[in-house]
């Protein structure tokens, strides 16, 4: 089974997670999600595997989050997924996927729960 990581090389937490995997002898499929955003279906699947809600994987500290008024609780999960796919900077990172399981790897050692 291929381990995947939604990776942003400029993010220290993302680099730590990638290094953590590599130190365990795992060469993951690296998904540079800022360059190639997930489709809504791909993001829905990742969210399902994380067992989190779309809102729980949003970067609420991003300027864009405030500009788009995404704190509006009336927004549907589908609306949040759509906006994250259009603006992948809003997706929290790193997300590590192994088969039917995924983890928001903050801190990196949480990855062990899905290996």
pLDDT at 109: 95
User: Measured between alpha carbons, how far is 41 from 28 in angstroms, rounded to an integer?
Assistant: 21
Quote the tokens at residue 44. Answer: 């829905």
| pLDDT over threshold 80, residue 107 | yes
Q: What is the pLDDT of residue 66?
A: 96
Residue 24: which pLDDT band, with cuts at 50, 70 and 90? very high
Please give the pLDDT value at position 63. 97
Q: What SS3 string covers 45-66? A: HHHHHHCCCHHHHECCCCHHHH
What band does 13 get if pLDDT is binned at 50, 70 and 90?
A: very high
**What long-range pairs does 17-25 form, CB within 8 A, spacing at least 24?**
17/94, 17/96, 17/105, 17/108, 17/111, 18/94, 19/108, 20/105, 20/108, 20/109, 20/111, 21/96, 21/111, 24/115
- In this predicted structure, what is the pLDDT of residue 81? 98
φ/ψ of 3, rounded to 5, equals -85, 135
Domains of the chain and any CATH numbers: 3-114 (3.40.30.10)
Share above pLDDT 90 across residues of the chain, in percent, rounded to a whole number? 98
Q: Tell whether the model's pLDDT for residue 70 goes beyond 90.
A: yes
pLDDT of residue 100: 96
Residue 11 annotated among the catalytic residues of the structure: yes
- Candidate list 3, 11, 45, 52, residue with the active-site label: 11
């Amino acid at each position: 089974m291929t381990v995947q990581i939604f990776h942003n090389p400029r993010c220290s937490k993302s680099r730590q997670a990638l290094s953590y995997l590599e130190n365990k002898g795992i060469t993951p499929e690296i998904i540079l999600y800022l360059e190639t955003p997930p489709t809504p279906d791909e993001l829905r699947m990742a969210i399902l595997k994380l067992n989190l809600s779309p809102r729980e994987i949003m970067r609420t500290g991003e300027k864009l989050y405030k500009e788009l008024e995404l704190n509006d609780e009336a927004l549907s999960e589908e609306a949040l997924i759509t906006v994250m796919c259009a603006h992948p900077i809003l997706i929290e990172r790193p997300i590590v996927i192994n088969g039917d399981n995924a983890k928001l790897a903050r801190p990196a050692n949480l990855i062990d729960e899905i290996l």
